[in-house]
Structure 1
């Protein structure tokens, strides 16, 4: 009898809550184009509950009492409010586009503030080059040291990531990092992207994100392209050093019906680049990019997107030059020791994305991709150290096919005083690498000696699951990821026909918290493990030892918005890396590097006191050291210590705008005992624009004050032609001198 009464009581209580609460659903679209708006913030005036729109603009939110007011906000759109009375359950909301302002950033437990700030940054300080794409990430520095065609060297959170070893880079979800690459592990060449096609840049620091796997120790970056164009565009730019750049972007479907255009659209974009650069040896840098994208809303629940791109580039490079050669006037800052350096590379991508809304609370996404990639690079870092007669020039080359897919399921559940979003995914990436080579050559044409030559396949299977539980002011995000790698390598120089194989598995748990007491403040703690894989030649040589060295890290930070015109994001962080040794593609050897730990502080600030003035600054400090060695020999070479980027953006009268940017890097150790120093620099760039409705004129000035600075620097043991003994010192690539580029853009 007592059990029956208890059961009746539970049923009555459940009925009460079900009757008192209601799920309000709806969709959010652009007022002019009727295009669905993704990631729109949806919140109740009464507080507590937040939500956001999906890819098709649909959203749902739990309302516990009526009446209430629903507040809809999105960067670049007018704030929208609607009264809820319990009857208007299925809403169709149209947002009007307005000028982007910092005041549109909202602090809540539902949407990333960093992502919102990035949207403002991209509008206030537009991207002007492919290099600017990575520079948009707060705290991330890049350096170019091979004629513009080679992937940039990346620095982040006390890491010299080489070309991507500890930063995961993707484009529209497609992996950019190359595993077991001819030049360096994790090589991330973003030059296949056309900057004008980039709509958003998503990033995160640390290894706290379940859907990010290999290389995401220091962080990740994802570039997202536009789904559709508002208009056609043609741009022509010309500048110093015989620089020429042209860009065109064109809609392929001429549809005057805005509602139909929002459902089906396609465009194509092309870019051509040429420059000789400031060097004595003309770079003759040529790059051609083509990109196309098609999107179709099949029905109310299904959406498909297809994209294809290709790029090809070739260039000459002056390489890295030794300090002594410049100091002794053997060459100028713009000279070279070996004038035959350079290379060529190409990449062709195709990708298909399918999204399906199972129900108002459930979504499915499938993503398939394929890449065809070639790489051919000629370098000479040591000059005549190993071969006093012919020189030490090397050739690194490869050809690969990349196959992959990713499936993701998400579901949102609502409870009495909380809600839960659950997401799980599985995927595969396989790299089929052919003729992975390191050769000793003479002036590109003559093969003197093969140092490494082989074929291999590297397969990564992965799965992850995570949950975001929100209750009132709290959010808890536990997650678990598992990655399994299969390495197979056939060494063509060994004389054996046997392919060697190794397998390894990495388990990466993560746990994140946030507390949002009000719309002016959010505290968060992020913790987690991640990893970076090692080159398959290392894995085979070491018989699987430290195949997937792991990292453990944590962030403690806050998001502070004391007023609508100011956003401050401070964070204190720690990161431990189990093993830093990597395969040295330039020498076909393993460079042993042990355990490291890093601790640092990041501070990001954005301030817009008036609508026409925008100020931003990012300040980063990192202390990086090897563990288990003498203190005097514990420095991590080239690890950035103190860096800062920022600028001022001004919208002047008469349709004029100006953007002054700076980047600063402090001196840092170039070797383990800090006896050599990589010199810091402070460089400023200026961009001016005159904008009308259908056209725009621009003027860019890089290195405004013509500073002599060293962009890339390395400790190198080298020997010049007439030297009897080698010298250990800094070799460097000089940073660009003052550089002018003017352009005109026409929209139609």
Structure 2
């Protein structure tokens, strides 16, 4: 009798569930820009009290339980749109138009792929237009950059308690193409984004920590991914000039008309030329030329093709780093026993913006090509295939120690490499919906091959005559990663679990070494409502080592692991205030430390913990304010209490400002950057000075033109952009002195810009 009751009960339940499923309808749609006809990412779709976000292709899927419903589309910087849709709708195409920025329209939705940070990046990029790649990087909350050997080198990156060198702990990409250079002669993960023309950037995405399956090597502190525009809403010509013989010309030209855009076809070209001598006594003669072109075509209703190519070349004369004692008395140095002492005044002091060795110089070039085909298949399947190719050259003459190693010929080092990089990114994904839940399954494959020719680090004279090699040889390196990612969204909860399997192959000096790495990740979100979201992220990441060090071994880990966790909150306590905050922890199996002679030495195990806070508040329809505060405690785990510091690792940084946009076209902002002083060595007996800078931007923007004024370092603060401990010996000194060397920061610097739109 009991068995019959159970069967009867089950039958009733199945019939009931079937009726509910029958009454439901999966509504799908595509949100596009009304002018460029390009997809709009992270637009918020709200219907029947439920909110979701569009994906990178502007698509959305949402369950409709009634015969009809009112659907609302909102997006930062766009006019909201409302329409009535019913169960008879098959696939909606929703064009939206650009409008004023209103934080009230920001809705917190369960969306794993960087959505919480996308709100920050969209607001900042919309309110604070940029005209350099450096400006683009500084938009990331908590990310600081510095130059220490001329403007042509990749920036030194500081983020989340890391002196990340030139990209060792930050994964950087443009349109899916890696920017980081593995086994680069000037630093592992060298990420030079100077080829990126800022006016071509549509969005940028960033994430902190090693929690994202689609980002592999160098994703320890996090990742930074730029996306270029698929099409232009207008063409522009921009001319800029300023102090220190600074000049910039930029242009973006739309190649196809409105009719082509309506048919899903876009093409444009862009170019940029930069020149400056900088504030230095030795003119920098910094030159940079960049070109970029992109073509996109909608092939039928389910396929999209994107082709792009870019090239850039640059050359410069760096003023170089200056030991503190070269300009002032009473500076601190370290003796042979590690004890601090006061250095007497230099017999021939120089100006802060002077130079000690004028033979330093550099040049670099890069050519890129990218092809991508995105396909929406039936039954919610998505396929992406991308190929990319890069040809790259780099050459640098540098002398940071002067006569410390060779008191006769000097310590000039010559660095150079030429490389080809070829890669593939593939994605195969499916979204399954039932009731109030959805499961997104993604399988990806990444592979890249790097081949360098004549990677050289050598000792030369001041006349560039060869003395001896530090390293010389060709490098062949491959990294192939395959990873599976599952995301379950059910009601207010989102669960994501994934894992990467990476294969590495290093070849140098007829020796080959391979290694396999597995990196699991897990992310959990709880979205209480449109205003509150809690999240927990945890995972394992890694940064690979330079092939030269891998083959040489010497106790250095090939692929040291990083383990981290974030506990965070996205919160809108009032309609016009958005807050993101997180407590985080990160442990590294081995820190990389780069020395002056080109070696990588094992830096030991490290741990970091900290707090990140970002807030965006709209004070009025025309006035916005932002604040970022980042605290970190970086330490060596295997050191004694007084020797566990990490040199140059930031401990307290903050950025913020006020931005305004009036209806009459006047717009701009006042912003600040603050870096707290920090240890200069692992005993904290030397210090890197902190700084506080204020920048001002004013623009008058009309439909056909824009006039702008930018002032960097408005208060003319005396500051050091970069500092590092160096054992240097100046001409006439009998022995090296271990103390801080620095590169002075730019003083008051004004630039005027005129742009024409057509």
TM-score by length of 1: 0.95
- Residues 160-215 of structure 1: per-residue CA shift (max 9 Å, x gap): 00000000000111100111011111100000011111111100000000000000
- Residues 137-169 of structure 1: per-residue CA shift (max 9 Å, x gap): 000000011110000000000000000000000
Q: For residue 9 of structure 1, report the CA deviation from its aligned partner.
A: 5.2
Q: For residue 14 of structure 1, report the CA deviation from its aligned partner.
A: 4.8
- After superposing the two structures, state which structure 1 stretch, 435-444 or 86-95, moved more: 86-95
Q: For residue 66 of structure 1, report the CA deviation from its aligned partner.
A: 4.3
Partner of 2:731, secondary structure, is coil
Q: For residue 444 of structure 1, report the CA deviation from its aligned partner.
A: 5.2
Q: For residue 53 of structure 1, report the CA deviation from its aligned partner.
A: 4.7
Residue 325 of structure 1: aligned partner: 326
Q: For residue 387 of structure 1, report the CA deviation from its aligned partner.
A: 1.0
- After superposing the two structures, state which structure 1 stretch, 91-100 or 239-248, moved more: 91-100
Is 1:289 equivalent to 2:290 in the alignment?
yes
| Equivalent residues of 1:667, 1:680 under 8 A apart | yes
Q: For residue 651 of structure 1, report the CA deviation from its aligned partner.
A: 2.7
Residue 639 of structure 1: aligned partner: 649
In the alignment, the residues of structure 1 paired with residue 572 and residue 626 of structure 2 have an alpha-carbon distance, to the nearest angstrom, of 14
Q: How many residues were matched structurally? A: 735
| Equivalent residues of 2:53, 2:111 under 8 A apart | yes
Partner of 1:538, secondary structure, is helix
In the alignment, the residues of structure 1 paired with residue 529 and residue 650 of structure 2 have an alpha-carbon distance, to the nearest angstrom, of 35
- Residues 597-653 of structure 1: per-residue CA shift (max 9 Å, x gap): 001000001011111111001000000100121111000111101000111112357
| Equivalent residues of 1:60, 1:360 under 8 A apart | no
| Equivalent residues of 1:138, 1:645 under 8 A apart | yes
In the alignment, the residues of structure 2 paired with residue 53 and residue 731 of structure 1 have an alpha-carbon distance, to the nearest angstrom, of 47
Residue 735 of structure 1: aligned partner: 745
Q: For residue 97 of structure 1, report the CA deviation from its aligned partner.
A: 2.3
- Residues 326-376 of structure 1: per-residue CA shift (max 9 Å, x gap): 113521101111111121000000000110001251111111000000000
In the alignment, the residues of structure 1 paired with residue 662 and residue 295 of structure 2 have an alpha-carbon distance, to the nearest angstrom, of 37
The equivalent position to 1:455 in structure 2, one of 474, 489, 500, is 474
Residue 572 of structure 1: aligned partner: 583
In the alignment, the residues of structure 2 paired with residue 175 and residue 19 of structure 1 have an alpha-carbon distance, to the nearest angstrom, of 46
Is 1:156 equivalent to 2:171 in the alignment?
no
The equivalent position to 2:15 in structure 1, one of 12, 16, 36, is 12
Partner of 1:133, secondary structure, is helix
- Residues 476-512 of structure 1: per-residue CA shift (max 9 Å, x gap): 111111111000101xxxxxxxx10111111110111
| Equivalent residues of 1:638, 1:668 under 8 A apart | yes
The equivalent position to 2:229 in structure 1, one of 226, 230, 234, is 226
The equivalent position to 2:243 in structure 1, one of 240, 245, 263, is 240
Residue 22 of structure 1: aligned partner: 25
Residue 365 of structure 1: aligned partner: 384
The equivalent position to 1:506 in structure 2, one of 505, 517, 520, is 517
In the alignment, the residues of structure 2 paired with residue 405 and residue 489 of structure 1 have an alpha-carbon distance, to the nearest angstrom, of 23
In the alignment, the residues of structure 2 paired with residue 46 and residue 279 of structure 1 have an alpha-carbon distance, to the nearest angstrom, of 60
Partner of 1:631, secondary structure, is coil
Is 1:385 equivalent to 2:395 in the alignment?
no
The equivalent position to 1:535 in structure 2, one of 522, 525, 546, is 546
Residue 629 of structure 2: aligned partner: 619
Q: For residue 38 of structure 1, report the CA deviation from its aligned partner.
A: 3.5
In the alignment, the residues of structure 2 paired with residue 53 and residue 210 of structure 1 have an alpha-carbon distance, to the nearest angstrom, of 17
| Equivalent residues of 1:206, 1:217 under 8 A apart | yes
Residue 277 of structure 2: aligned partner: 276
Q: For residue 223 of structure 1, report the CA deviation from its aligned partner.
A: 1.0
Q: For residue 423 of structure 1, report the CA deviation from its aligned partner.
A: 1.2
| Equivalent residues of 2:311, 2:367 under 8 A apart | yes
| Equivalent residues of 2:722, 2:742 under 8 A apart | yes
Partner of 1:319, secondary structure, is coil
- Residues 110-138 of structure 1: per-residue CA shift (max 9 Å, x gap): 37132022112111111132211110100
Q: For residue 284 of structure 1, report the CA deviation from its aligned partner.
A: 0.7
Partner of 2:15, secondary structure, is helix
The equivalent position to 2:52 in structure 1, one of 28, 50, 59, is 50
Residue 601 of structure 1: aligned partner: 611
The equivalent position to 1:180 in structure 2, one of 167, 180, 183, is 183
Alignment CA distance shift 1:735-1:116 (3 Å): same
Q: For residue 65 of structure 1, report the CA deviation from its aligned partner.
A: 3.9
Where in structure 2 are the equivalents of 1:432-581 lying within 5 Å?
Answer: 432-443=451-462, 445-490=464-509, 499-542=510-553, 546-581=557-592
| Equivalent residues of 1:51, 1:61 under 8 A apart | no
| Equivalent residues of 2:47, 2:71 under 8 A apart | yes
In the alignment, the residues of structure 1 paired with residue 687 and residue 85 of structure 2 have an alpha-carbon distance, to the nearest angstrom, of 64
| Equivalent residues of 1:106, 1:113 under 8 A apart | no
Is 1:193 equivalent to 2:177 in the alignment?
no
Is 1:145 equivalent to 2:155 in the alignment?
no
Q: For residue 50 of structure 1, report the CA deviation from its aligned partner.
A: 2.6
The equivalent position to 1:681 in structure 2, one of 673, 691, 700, is 691
- Residues 273-323 of structure 1: per-residue CA shift (max 9 Å, x gap): 111111111111111000000101111011100000000000101111100
Alignment CA distance shift 1:34-1:346 (3 Å): closer
| Equivalent residues of 1:355, 1:366 under 8 A apart | yes
Query: Structure 1: 5+ residue runs without aligned partners?
Result: 491-498
Is 1:402 equivalent to 2:421 in the alignment?
yes
Residue 301 of structure 1: aligned partner: 302
- Residues 27-70 of structure 1: per-residue CA shift (max 9 Å, x gap): 323334544433322232333x6352552x44321223445432
In the alignment, the residues of structure 2 paired with residue 330 and residue 522 of structure 1 have an alpha-carbon distance, to the nearest angstrom, of 57
Alignment CA distance shift 1:658-1:291 (3 Å): same
Partner of 1:317, secondary structure, is coil
In the alignment, the residues of structure 1 paired with residue 303 and residue 212 of structure 2 have an alpha-carbon distance, to the nearest angstrom, of 27
Is 1:249 equivalent to 2:268 in the alignment?
no
Partner of 1:115, secondary structure, is helix
Residue 719 of structure 2: aligned partner: 709
Q: For residue 95 of structure 1, report the CA deviation from its aligned partner.
A: 1.9
Residue 331 of structure 2: aligned partner: none
Alignment CA distance shift 1:234-1:356 (3 Å): same
Alignment CA distance shift 1:264-1:447 (3 Å): same
Residue 662 of structure 1: aligned partner: 672
Q: For residue 10 of structure 1, report the CA deviation from its aligned partner.
A: 6.5
Partner of 1:423, secondary structure, is strand
| Equivalent residues of 2:186, 2:598 under 8 A apart | no
Q: For residue 537 of structure 1, report the CA deviation from its aligned partner.
A: 1.0
In the alignment, the residues of structure 2 paired with residue 255 and residue 372 of structure 1 have an alpha-carbon distance, to the nearest angstrom, of 35
Alignment CA distance shift 1:35-1:218 (3 Å): closer
| Equivalent residues of 2:542, 2:561 under 8 A apart | yes
Is 1:649 equivalent to 2:662 in the alignment?
no
Q: For residue 24 of structure 1, report the CA deviation from its aligned partner.
A: 1.2
Alignment CA distance shift 1:19-1:529 (3 Å): same
In the alignment, the residues of structure 1 paired with residue 720 and residue 55 of structure 2 have an alpha-carbon distance, to the nearest angstrom, of 46
In the alignment, the residues of structure 2 paired with residue 24 and residue 536 of structure 1 have an alpha-carbon distance, to the nearest angstrom, of 51
- Residues 461-480 of structure 1: per-residue CA shift (max 9 Å, x gap): 10111111111111111111
Alignment CA distance shift 1:692-1:520 (3 Å): same
| Equivalent residues of 1:637, 1:669 under 8 A apart | yes
In the alignment, the residues of structure 1 paired with residue 598 and residue 104 of structure 2 have an alpha-carbon distance, to the nearest angstrom, of 53
In the alignment, the residues of structure 2 paired with residue 53 and residue 504 of structure 1 have an alpha-carbon distance, to the nearest angstrom, of 34
Q: For residue 655 of structure 1, report the CA deviation from its aligned partner.
A: 2.5
| Equivalent residues of 2:674, 2:690 under 8 A apart | yes
Partner of 1:616, secondary structure, is strand
Alignment CA distance shift 1:257-1:303 (3 Å): closer
- After superposing the two structures, state which structure 1 stretch, 18-27 or 592-601, moved more: 18-27
In the alignment, the residues of structure 2 paired with residue 33 and residue 240 of structure 1 have an alpha-carbon distance, to the nearest angstrom, of 37
| Equivalent residues of 1:502, 1:544 under 8 A apart | no
Q: For residue 86 of structure 1, report the CA deviation from its aligned partner.
A: 3.0
